[in-house]
């Protein structure tokens, strides 16, 4: 898996060394030597990952990281801080600045590339979600939920057979989150499938294989995207690298530093909520793409696809499909006499009455304006006619209350009914026959149901 990586370091030798190593691994490498240029390149080039040196003159790595993360156009880019310093204060300061990871010089190539691969996988997911979110935004489909994207108040699952270590982690996390401890892998796997914002796994556990648990969580659909923080022994490099290869989101070295734990947990919870937010927006966008915004019924696009499938099956000898085309009589008079808001109220109430008078398998849809369609799979023209009459009577029997109940309007509808005829029939021909029924009903006085056979 390749990626575009921006290397930022004021020491030319360090830049050239990292560039050579990354290029040999087939990464596309950009370089610069100061924080201000890094901020500009992040905005213009949109790299997949930024390897950012901390100790630079002028704008140091911490401030550069803060500026990149403060810009909505670049805050999704993973940043790995690289420094010769190994103090806890620098790790915590880097994480609080928004860094996604923190490595020290001299760089361990195996660990570095494992972290790069892990962050590249994360970036691919984030890019896909953001791209689809932006498509929905261009179509005017937006949701408000940014206020939920904080990094506290998460439910954290701790899977650790070291009672003292687990209790210490839970005690620290209790300040901001809701931790739960499981001491064996089987219980941890079950708990991971409940609503959880972060999972912390001790991969050096004595009574279970922490790496196998991570692999099981990553391979299951319900938990595939659950953030995992692995607690590892810094001396056990093979296990550390394997955890990263299996897809853990972050590493926490033993002995666990409370402030570093808090900072890393906060980062992972915030990221989890951001990806969840994007997925919810994507689901909403997909739903809105096939839903009429005013009535909540399916729209023309959804109806066309479903009807094509039903008519195709009927043409191959399957069950027949019928359609109702419904048109509200004299709807223009409602808009002209009471205003478009009252007209919208009538359309919404009509949609409710329509949906409550058809079967669960039927598809009530709004074509546009005051015209509606019901697709009725497995239905003969005689049965469809009976259902259409039921809808017509229900609509006309009770006045529609509009304008806060101040006005009561009598509404009637004209309905055309048609059914598929087998081989050679098409969705357009089926809808045309039903539409002709509507015109005949209106021409003969309205408030009628007319069935049109082929």
Identify whether 221 is part of a domain.
yes
Specify the pLDDT at position 29: 94
Q: Residues 3, 122: one domain?
A: yes
Identify whether 359 is part of a domain.
yes
Q: Are 160 and 303 in contact (CB under 8 A)?
A: no
Q: Residues 54, 133: one domain?
A: yes
Identify whether 185 is part of a domain.
yes
- List the Cα angle 183/199/97 in 5-degree steps: 135
User: Of 142, 166, 201, which one is at a domain's C-terminal end?
Assistant: 142
**What 3-state class would DSSP assign to 329?**
coil
Cβ-count burial 27-66 (b if 16+ within 10 Å, e if not): bebbbbbbbeebbebbeeeebbbbbbbbebeebbbbebbb
How far apart CA 71 and CA 306 sit, in angstroms, is: 43
**Within 10 A of 345 (CB to CB), how many other CB atoms are there?**
20
How far apart CA 302 and CA 369 sit, in angstroms, is: 17
How far apart CA 121 and CA 126 sit, in angstroms, is: 9
Mean pLDDT of the chain: 87
Number of domains in the chain: 3
Q: Residues 393, 308: one domain?
A: yes
Q: Residues 123, 177: one domain?
A: no
Identify whether 27 is part of a domain.
yes
72 phi, psi to nearest 5 deg: -55, -25
Q: For the chain, what is the largest distance between any 2 Cα atoms, rounded to a whole number of angstroms?
A: 89
Number of continuous H segments (helices) and E segments (strands) in the chain: 15, 17
Q: Residues 267, 309: one domain?
A: no
User: Of 91, 125, 142, which one is at a domain's C-terminal end?
Assistant: 142
Q: Residues 239, 254: one domain?
A: yes
* Domain boundaries, position 52: 1-142
Identify whether 290 is part of a domain.
no
Identify whether 343 is part of a domain.
yes
Specify the pLDDT at position 371: 95
Identify whether 288 is part of a domain.
no
In the chain, which stretches have pLDDT less than 50? Answer: 139-149
Q: Residues 132, 161: one domain?
A: no
In this structure, the strands spanning 371-377 and 321-328 are antiparallel
Token pair belonging to 58: 């002028």
Q: What is the CATH number of the domain that holds 406?
A: 3.30.70.270
Contacts of 392 (CB under 8 A, 6+ apart): 412, 413, 415, 447, 448, 449
Catalytic residue among 259, 319, 370, 440: 370
For residue range 373-403, list pLDDT tens digits in order: 999 999 999 999 999 999 999 999 999 998 8
Q: Residues 202, 121: one domain?
A: no
Cβ-count burial 79-107 (b if 16+ within 10 Å, e if not): bbbbbeeeeeebbbbbbbbbbbbbebeeb
Specify the pLDDT at position 81: 87
Positive/negative CA dihedral, 183, 273, 95, 236: positive
How far apart CA 326 and CA 431 sit, in angstroms, is: 11
Specify the pLDDT at position 145: 45
User: Of 219, 248, 281, which one is at a domain's C-terminal end?
Assistant: 281
* 370 is an active site residue: yes
Q: Cα torsion for 283, 288, 289, 290, to the nearest 10°? A: 110
Q: What is the CATH number of the domain that holds 220?
A: 3.40.50.2300
Q: Residues 316, 230: one domain?
A: no
Q: Residues 226, 129: one domain?
A: no
Q: Residues 254, 123: one domain?
A: no
Q: Residues 304, 448: one domain?
A: yes
Identify whether 309 is part of a domain.
yes
Specify the pLDDT at position 291: 83
**Cα separations in angstroms, 385 against 86, 150, 205, 324, 374:** 79, 55, 69, 8, 12
């Amino acid at each position: 898996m390749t990626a575009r990586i921006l290397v930022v370091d004021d020491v030319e030798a360090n830049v050239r060394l990292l560039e050579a190593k990354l290029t040999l691994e087939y990464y596309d490498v950009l370089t610069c030597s100061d924080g201000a240029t890094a901020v500009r390149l992040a905005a213009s080039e949109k790299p997949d990952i930024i390897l950012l040196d901390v100790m630079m003159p002028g704008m140091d790595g911490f401030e550069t990281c803060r500026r990149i993360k403060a810009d909505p156009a670049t805050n999704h880019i993973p940043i790995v801080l690289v420094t010769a310093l190994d103090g806890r204060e620098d790790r915590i300061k880097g994480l609080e600045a928004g860094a996604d990871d923190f490595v020290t010089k001299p760089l361990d190539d195996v660990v570095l590339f494992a972290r790069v691969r892990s962050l590249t996988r994360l970036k691919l997911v984030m890019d896909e979600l953001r791209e689809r979110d932006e498509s929905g935004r261009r179509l005017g489909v937006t949701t408000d939920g940014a206020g939920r994207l904080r990094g506290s108040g998460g439910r954290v699952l701790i899977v650790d057979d070291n009672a003292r270590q687990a209790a210490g982690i839970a005690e620290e996390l209790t300040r901001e989150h809701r931790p739960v401890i499981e001491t064996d892998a089987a219980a941890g796997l079950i708990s991971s499938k409940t609503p959880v914002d972060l999972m912390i796994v001790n991969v050096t556990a004595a009574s279970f294989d922490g790496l196998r648990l991570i692999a099981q969580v990553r391979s299951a659909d319900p938990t595939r995207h659950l953030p995992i923080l692995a607690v590892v022994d810094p001396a056990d490099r093979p296990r550390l690298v394997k955890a990263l290869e299996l897809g853990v989101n972050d590493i926490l070295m033993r002995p666990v530093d409370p402030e570093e734990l808090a900072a890393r947990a906060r980062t992972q919870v915030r990221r989890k909520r951001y990806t969840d937010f994007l997925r919810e927006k994507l689901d909403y966008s997909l739903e809105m793409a096939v839903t009429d915004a005013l009535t909540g019924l399916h729209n023309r696009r959804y109806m066309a696809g479903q009807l094509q499938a039903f008519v195709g099956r009927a043409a191959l000898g399957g069950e027949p499909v019928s359609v109702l085309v419904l048109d509200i009589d004299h709807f223009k008079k409602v808009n002209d006499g009471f205003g478009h808001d009252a007209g919208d109220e009538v359309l919404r109430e009509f949609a409710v009455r329509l949906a409550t008078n058809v079967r669960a398998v039927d598809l009530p849809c709004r074509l546009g304006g005051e015209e509606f369609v019901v697709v009725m799979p497995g239905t003969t023209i005689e049965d469809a006619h009976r259902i259409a009459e039921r809808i017509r009577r229900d609509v006309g029997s009770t006045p529609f209350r509009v304008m806060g109940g101040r006005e009561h309007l009598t509404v009637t509808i004209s309905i055309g009914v048609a059914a598929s005829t087998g081989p050679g029939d098409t969705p357009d021909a089926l809808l045309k026959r039903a539409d002709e029924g509507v015109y005949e009903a209106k021409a003969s006085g309205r408030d009628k149901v007319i069935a049109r056979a082929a």
